[in-house]
Amino acid sequence: MKTRTRFAPSPTGFMHIGGVRTALYAYLIARQNNGSFILRIEDTDQERFVEGATEVIYSTLKDLGLNWDEGPDIGGNYGPYIQSERKANYLTYAKKLIEEEKAYYCLCSEERLTIMKSRAEKEGIPYKYDKHCLNLSESEEKELLEIIENNKPHVIRFKMPKEGKTVFEDIVYGKIEVENKELEDLIMIKSDGMPTYNFANIIDDHEMEITHVIRGNEYVSSTPKYVLMYQALNFPIPEFIHLPIIKETVDSDKKLSKRNQAATVDSLKTRGYLNSAIINTLALTGWCPKENREIFSLEELINVFDVNGIGKGNAIFDIDKLNWFNNYYLKQMDKEAFVSFVKPFLASAYDLSNHDDEWINKLISIYQEQISYGLEIINFTSLFFNKEIIIDKDCSEFLNSDESIANTLSIFKTEIESIKEWNVESITNAINNTKEKSNANGKLLFMPIRIKISGQMHGPELPETIFLLGKELVLDRLN
């Protein structure tokens, strides 16, 4: 059977990196098996629908190179690919289950269910629907009949078996079994006539011939319920691949929140992270390659990705690792591409109108080895745009750590004052002359100069930094 995977996000806002990782793994599994990768929009929860979110899904996936073979925008043989457009399908299957006494109508009010939930909470036991509508009184049956005939709000529930066990295999977590008596009768069709996620994705996956269901491990506990519905409908059961949850930190049990600045692809792109770095980091968030390497292009991932490398433990979206990857990819850019990428970030913070393109391009390019993400250029270059600099405690202590430093700085100031033609070569000569006249070497030569003119102990090439600062500003700071 041809491999068919799907990514089925809800249009509720920006793309969370957990969802994008799911899309990436589904894409890789499809591509490495010469299969199809399907995009489906699950919009059955109309209350959470966000205008424009579907377009965000399209643009984010395309931007990252995760192109789909079938979907709402390009069609396919298994459409429509938007759940709200498949509404009639779900009701047909639900009514079939009712006819076979595998499901039933439920008219319990929200008030009754709320009371039951409160009672369970007080007693310290898990809430579970009590199957009340399976055993209706004569008057309740008449009421239910009237509700159905007049199309008044009601729900349809799946009837879970009371005895036995449900067993399924997950590629990551292995064999999982659950006592059926622990399972609640799930709602399949809500009071607004829309299907629940639990029911709709089963019908859609079957009708779209999905062979592998890839999703977060928060759905592991629900999967036995899905398996029973697959069986009740006589559907073949797909392969399940549940992915480890992405946590906030190593020491936290909290799932990465959307409020975290690293939680959405949009926020990462806004901060200046490259697609290649995002993909590389996401691939290794919960998956470990067989070979001892970390840098992979998307095409290389298609060849090396192996579901057996997916871990069972929770994963961390490591921002330090992302910075490392992004720095690596930024350093691979040619100078022109790097400057073009970073320049908008610089322009967003500083007025560049007083500087020509040559100066701006040179300023950006000297930080290519250091920069980890686009927005970081703002902090790195503040010393070129702010007249005053702050010399912190560590820098101050270093300047006072050796009696010779004051003499070295005095000699260097005299050398700078004597420069007639301001260029990198003349500045380099001034540094070399200072070395000879002061007998200072290494960090006792370069670090005092850098601290006085930039407020930093480390940075890009010193002559180029001094040149870009300009003679007047350098002398002001030396004074």
- Catalytic annotation, residues: 258
Parallel, antiparallel, or unpaired for β 165-170 and 174-179?
antiparallel
Q: Whole-angstrom Cα distance, residue 87 to residue 200?
A: 9
Phi, psi of 415 (to 5 degrees): -65, -40
Q: What is the identity of the amino acid at 444?
A: L
Long-range contacts of range 398-405, CB-CB < 8 Å, 24 or more positions apart? 398/447, 398/448, 398/451, 398/457, 399/448, 399/451, 399/452, 402/444, 404/438, 404/439, 404/440, 404/444, 405/440, 405/444, 405/448
| Centroid of chain to Cα 181 | 37
* Amino acid identity at 1: M
Relative orientation angle of helices 404-417 and 424-438, to the nearest 10 degrees: 140
Rounded CA separation 324/277 (Å): 9
Euclidean distance between CA atoms 443 and 457, whole angstroms: 9
> Could you tell me if 243 and 172 are in contact, meaning their C-beta atoms sit under 8 angstroms apart?
yes
Could you give the CA distance from residue 433 to residue 454 in angstroms, rounded to a whole number?
21
CA atoms within 13 A on the CB side of 151: 2
Q: 395: which 2 tokens?
A: 């820098």
